[in-house]
Chain A
Amino acid sequence: MIIALLSDIHANLEALDTCLKHAQANGAMRYVFLGDLVGYGSDARSTVEVIAKHAAAGALVVKGNHDEAVEKRTGYMNESAQEAIDWARKTLNENAKSFLAGLPLCVREEKLCFVHASASFPERWDYIDSLSAARKSIETAERAHTFSGHVHDQMLYFQTGVGKIGSFRPVPGTPIPAKSHHRWLALVGSVGQPRDRNPAAAYALFDTTREQITFYRIPYDHHAAARKIREAGLSETLAYRVEKGI
């Protein structure tokens, strides 16, 4: 079965729609949303609606720090990020808010683990930005395959049978064998706000039968997404970042 893994959508409906279409065309049978549905972008309401509809049809959704920020004030957001959260809080209806508030932080299945940040203390929103951070998450998850977001860049960490941790920057579109006798932690990148100077949306597909992960970069109408951010009166920085992929 092919699972689509989408993270850090950040209220970018254009990017989400394009990735969902691509996933469907490539045989995705199951959808997992790895958190940060809102924040930064202007389409919080429609984004949550689309994802809630998928959840009703069986998709799995975990909570991200921006989703949490809608329900409670946090101290770590910068000004423009906080502005986008305030905007989301204003535009989301009660149903959407309670959907976000009810999301789990981490879900472990028989062989798979899904978490927005790190499986080790998911509520602390630690970034997986080093081999040691990856090791902590992999070893706490205790699953062959862990999928996360939070860090907006795509990255694949692995722990071989002898316990060593390695990392690899995936090449989009190349299926990578990820056999379950090793442990893998895939950071699937950001659908709605990539930051590697490439505005194309990022997500990944996991083929559970072949045990194969394919990372993708999908071009979408990012100018439209940026225009909507400006029209909503949100910070120019947020629009510019979507336009340039920074």
Chain B
Amino acid sequence: MLEKLTPGTELDGYVIGERIHSGAQGVIFSVASPTGGGPLIMKVPRIGRGETSESLLNFETEAMILPTLSGYHVPRFVAAGDITRTPYLVTEWVEGDSLEHWLKGGPLPTADVVRVGAAIADALHSVHLQDTIHLDLKPENVILKRDGTAVLIDFGLAHHARYPDLLAEEKRFAAGSAPYISPEQVLDTRSDSRSDIFSLGVVLYEMATGELPFGLPETMKGMRDRLWRDPVPPRSLAGDVVPWLQEIILRCLEISADDRYQSAAYVAFDLRNPEQVVLTDRARKLQSAGFFGQVKRWWKARDYLPVRFQPPTLFAVETPIIMVAVDTSHPDDYRHPALRRTTSRVLSLSTEFRLICVSVIRAAHLVEGAGGIATASGLHLEHLVRLRHWVEPLGLSTQRMSLHVIESANPADTLLEFARCNNVNLIVLGAPGAKEHALAWWRSVASKVTANAHCSVHVVRIPVRNIRTDAKNHTGHPSGLK
């Protein structure tokens, strides 16, 4: 079919334009739609005489998964041809540069690593939320749009939890690109969303240092190296890599998926809130484990080499980010314990979670008598101390939570924006009861957040014990109160 597709010819109404890309698996054309609209591309697999069925299975996988995905972080699906007669896939043409193009100039400055890394983590999180694992994350599959968001392309190796995995048994070509795949992918596991976190770690490493943590392995033995070898710490390759960035990168690159970040949203959060990153030995390392250290790791890896990884499919909904809004301006408010009890109950439902505690305070320059920077930071610190005091009884480790005091004249919008940017799954906040007229302002914050949040909202109220007004409406006396 491919040879017939020359510029100007038509396929199911799509007018073929220029050939954008020609690879071993297939060809990509720019096409014009019969109904107009934005620019489109058509992917056509190489099939027929002399071609392997490999490209067809990858193509079929993408044609099955892409129509089920939505959002800013994937190309919009337009149409697919009949796979047995005219296999093709039409999607929107994503305007932007591939990350591969960006990396041609060598390593990126830290600010770009962080910005782009968080954008890719957002994209992965969005895909994970839709029960899909990309499994082939690498710079050429990331398009960076002008608005700063990242779009993931090429779902030919992806895995979707609600569809059969046609590639599961096709070990020869079901793994992604050698430098980027996770240890469990080397061992043929395709159902762990944390594999994408590992690949994100490789991409972050490459952006920060210009090097690949495991080189460009060409043999199976070379690929298995990542089952035990620890990569050279980025800080020893690039002087401007800061300890917290190394902490994030090396945590993504942990051999065991359990030791990595459990959700792409956590990676995005840490990249955007470096002051909240808990530094461990990973941040301090300046060289790989020595000879004996490597031998030890290799010996340890031998134990699990013959056993196939059998991890659970871990999807983003099981690793929630919970945000609780605490009113530190009224530290003695009687509602605080109730808010804490509810937060504790919500946290007990997940084994993996992140808690973000936020207090929105009035901007310092609006506070009467606030004169200089010293006062502003003093105020900030005071609220931070109160926030810590509020959260301490929950007994959470610092790795599980973060504290934020934000100055704003508009608390509802600030909470909503903060929740959206940090991929929050649930907002917990208190609200005054219907009869507490003096607190009407705070009630309006709660109702605005509830009405406009992108995620679930849990509003905590203290049941009103005084039923005097309600009793008036009854015709008789409540029993026993005569």
Chain A residue numbers with a CB within 8 Å of B169 are 160, 164-166
Whether, in the assembled complex, B64 has its beta carbon less than 8 Å from a beta carbon of chain A, the answer is: yes
Assess A158 versus B166: contact at CB under 8 Å? Given A179-B83, A179-B84.
yes
How far, in angstroms, from A13 to B378 measured CA to CA in the complex?
A: 74
Whether, in the assembled complex, A75 has its beta carbon less than 8 Å from a beta carbon of chain B, the answer is: no
How far, in angstroms, from A235 to B57 measured CA to CA in the complex?
A: 50
A166 touches B164 (CB 8 A): yes
| Selected contact of A160 from candidates B161, B162, B170, CB within 8 Å | B170
Main secondary structure of the interface of B (DSSP, over half): loop
Whether, in the assembled complex, A182 has its beta carbon less than 8 Å from a beta carbon of chain B, the answer is: yes
Number of residues of chain A lying within 8 A (CB) of chain B = 17
CB closest chain-B residue, reference A179: B83
How far, in angstroms, from A138 to B60 measured CA to CA in the complex?
A: 21
Assess A162 versus B170: contact at CB under 8 Å? Given A174-B162, A176-B163.
yes
A156 touches B53 (CB 8 A): no
Chain A residue numbers with a CB within 8 Å of B197 are none
| Selected contact of B164 from candidates A162, A168, A180, CB within 8 Å | A168
Whether, in the assembled complex, A124 has its beta carbon less than 8 Å from a beta carbon of chain B, the answer is: no
B64 touches A177 (CB 8 A): yes
Instruction: Bin chain B's interface residue count.
Output: 10 to 19
CB closest chain-B residue, reference A157: B164
Main secondary structure of the interface of A (DSSP, over half): loop
Whether, in the assembled complex, A161 has its beta carbon less than 8 Å from a beta carbon of chain B, the answer is: yes
A164 touches B53 (CB 8 A): no
Whether, in the assembled complex, A21 has its beta carbon less than 8 Å from a beta carbon of chain B, the answer is: no
Near A by CB (< 8 A), chain B positions 386-445 give: none
| Selected contact of A161 from candidates B56, B161, B162, B168, CB within 8 Å | B56
Whether, in the assembled complex, A72 has its beta carbon less than 8 Å from a beta carbon of chain B, the answer is: no
Chain A residue numbers with a CB within 8 Å of B56 are 161
Among B53, B60, B169, B170: residue with most chain A CB under 10 A? B169
How far, in angstroms, from A160 to B60 measured CA to CA in the complex?
A: 11
Chain B residue numbers with a CB within 8 Å of A161 are 53, 56-57
A160 touches B84 (CB 8 A): no
Chain A residue numbers with a CB within 8 Å of B64 are 177
Chain A residue numbers with a CB within 8 Å of B161 are 171
A residues whose Cβ falls under 8 Å from a Cβ of B: 156, 158, 160-162, 164-166, 168, 171, 174, 176-177, 179-182
B residues whose Cβ falls under 8 Å from a Cβ of A: 53, 56-57, 60, 64, 83-84, 161-166, 168-170
Q: Can you list 15 A-B pairs with a CB-CB distance of less than 8 A?
A: A160-B169, A160-B170, A161-B53, A161-B57, A162-B57, A162-B170, A164-B170, A166-B166, A174-B162, A176-B162, A176-B163, A177-B64, A177-B163, A180-B84, A181-B84
